[in-house]
Structure 1
Amino acid sequence: MKESLLGKRIWRHKIFYLFMLPGIVWFFLFSYVPLFGIQVAFRDFKFSGGFTGSPWAGLKYFRQFFDYYQSFELIRNTVVISCLKLFVGFSMPIILALLLNEVRNVKFRKTVQTLSYLPYFVSWIVVVTLMQRIFSVYGGPLNDLIASWGFERIQFLYNTSWFYQMIVGSDIWKNIGWNSIIYIAAIAGIDQQQYEAAKIDGANRFRQIWHVTLPGIRNIAVILFILAIGSLMSAGFEQLLLLNGPATASVGSVLDVHVINAGLREGRLSYAAAVGLFQSLIALILILTVNRVAKKVSDVSLF
């Protein structure tokens, strides 16, 4: 009986399911089919033997990673950088969305929105090249300005003292506009009568933001925070590959770069798969844990 009702419901809304079909196919092909390759992490992978013909290795490559003298450093750096990006950068799109919502000049608001979106579509190679030009010790406009004021020039890039600031700052600059889109959409969906009621109660703009706007986007923020927790073991490959150097290796070497170097540069595919699987398992545990906590605390969760 339930199956027939479900079938009728699906047929009634077949147009909506048809729109979902490309997304479902995409996820199936690129997210689920590749899961077959997870077994590489448990085999001594040989191209001649393929996925199923290579000899079984068990947990050999997991032990190999944890026996590696830099494994703790890689995990520590990854978690530190990811936490900084999460806890510093997560609130920035919310703040931008709140500020844009308060702008009454439509042309100015749209201009700011467009300018904030643009960096998202610029590759990290271009971004890092711009940073090298701007923050260069000699010839960089920022250091030239500092020197003109009588201060010593500062080595911003490839310097452990400024490494985290550069990493987090460039990440925020690149993604803040794009990440604010969903919050702007959520704010636009808040019932305007709530603002009118707040005005009647004598609430100023700040009070309206605190008591109407923020509660209105709270559920969206919680969901996005849970999803962001899943990236805690991934600090970002491209950015760290380009902005990290020998001078900052002690704080900038992360799992993402280590996996790519081991798999593609050194050809250790089984080892790289094992480390990547370790990252994914930790991410899954974090998402499930934070989702359960959020469900108990705020009644908002992914499932």
Structure 2
Amino acid sequence: MTGSLLWKRIWRHKLFYLFMLPGIVWFFLFSYVPLYGIQVAFRDFQFSGGFSGSPWAGLKYFHQFFDYYQSSKLIRNTILISAMKLCIGFVMPILLAILLNEVRNVKFKKTVQTLSYLPYFVSWVVVVTLIQRLFAQYGGPVNNALEALGLVHDPIQFMNNTNWFYQMILGSDVWKNIGWNSIIYIAAIAGIDPQLYEAAKIDGAGRYKQIWHITLPGIRNIAVILFILATGSLMSAGYEQLLLLNGPATAAIGSVLDVHVINAGINEGRLSYAAAVGLFQSIIALILILTVNKVARKVSDVSLF
């Protein structure tokens, strides 16, 4: 496409581009302009010298991180927790959207949707406090119910217990995000032509076959795009949740890069080191997205670009 044709097309759809302008400006100011600060990872940053006036350090802080005796554990824990969140947290919103689509009682459907959305807007501080109260070893409603039903004889220590740590992390993450993440799938299902379901009913297809042959293919492209984007979070397990739920007893399996970066940069004042580790996370995330995008394009002909 020549430059003149491109500008003619832009001018023809100028109203749409005008609606895009606030988003473009936002991304430019808060996503691209800050890239100038990446050089902090390669300098001995000093407030007096600023970004460009601080001494050049090269790959010094990258070497420090990889020489750190817990670096492999931090990377392993981050990838493991993120992978579990991706596998379970990616499927559950799709399942919720499909189940809600099958509900015929409008009032019940709207009630469930609203209740599932609300946790997303609640701070992790509130969520973790609620979890601590519900799953308290002594006096917690969950342990009291288990004892009343005769399922356990001694109270279970759910918090700060390596046997239950991953379950608490995954359960709280799904509970908090499942409703919000299902919105786009509900919208995608709503966009499927109802005549397809009518034709399937005439052919004798039941509910399960309609879901398998119509609903799932109808949301496949959206699911692939969201999965590609989600793979970029494999190096980010979630700062607030891990900071609040992790403790000394679970540090061996709960210490992640997100918390390590914040502690190094804010608590210890090692800004260059924290920037280097953060840049390492971002580079790996970019490589993952590009790789998965390429595989998706070859396998399903659906990709980001």
- Under TM normalisation by the shorter chain, which class is it? over 0.9
Which residue in the other structure is 1:128 paired with?
A: 128
* Secondary structure in 2 matching 1:230: helix
Partner of 1:17: 17
Partner of residue 228 from structure 1, selected from 230, 233, 247: 230
The equivalences for 1:140-151 within 5 A come to: 140-148=140-148, 149=150, 151=153
Q: Are 2:248 and 1:246 equivalent residues in the alignment? A: yes
Q: Structure 1: which 5+ residue stretches go unaligned?
A: none
Q: Please, what TM-score do these two structures have when normalized by structure 1? A: 0.99
The 5 Å alignment of 1:177-256 reads: 177-256=179-258
How much has 1:146 moved relative to structure 2? 2.3
**Cα distance in 2, alignment partners of residues 104 and 300 from structure 1:** 32
Moved more, 285-294 or 137-146: 137-146
Query: CA-to-partner distance for each residue in 1:106-160, whole Å, 9 max, x for gaps?
Result: 1110110000000000000000000010000111111122233252110101110
Query: Take 1:287 and 1:205, find their aligned partners in 2: how far apart are those partners?
Result: 35
Question: Do the aligned partners of 1:119 and 1:173 also contact (CA within 8 Å) in 2?
Answer: yes
Per-residue deviation at 1:50?
0.3
Equivalent residue number for residue 104 of structure 2: 104
Letter in 1 for 2:197: Y
Give, in angstroms, the shift of residue 12 of structure 1.
1.6
Q: Distance in 1 between the 2:200 and 2:298 partners?
A: 29
Mind listing any 5+ residue stretches in structure 2 that lack a counterpart? none
> Matched residues in 1 for 2:291 and 2:195: separation?
37
Q: Match of 2:263, as an amino acid?
A: N
RMSD value, Cα: 0.9
CA distance in 2, matches of 1:247, 1:147: 25
- Give deviations 1:2-41, integer Å, cap 9, x for gaps: 2222212111211111111110000000000000000000
Deviations 1:226-271 (A, max 9, x none): 0000000000000000000000000000000000000000000000
What amino acid is aligned across from residue 139 of structure 1 in structure 2? G
Amino acid at match of 1:37: G
Distance of 1:299 and 1:146 partners within structure 2? 49
Q: Give the Cα separation in 2 of the matches to 1:151 and 1:232.
A: 39
Quote the Cα distance in structure 2 between the aligned partners of 1:294 and 1:44: 41
TM-score (norm 2): 0.98
State the AA in 2 paired with 1:165. Q
Partner SS for 2:101: helix
The answer for the alignment partner of 2:46 in structure 1 is 46
2:77 equivalent in structure 1: 77
Contact 1:146 / 1:152 at 8 angstroms: preserved in 2?
no
Write out per-residue CA displacement over residues 44-100 of structure 1, whole angstroms, 9 at most, x where no aligned residue: 000000000000000000000000000000000000000010111110000000000
* 1:62 paired residue number: 62
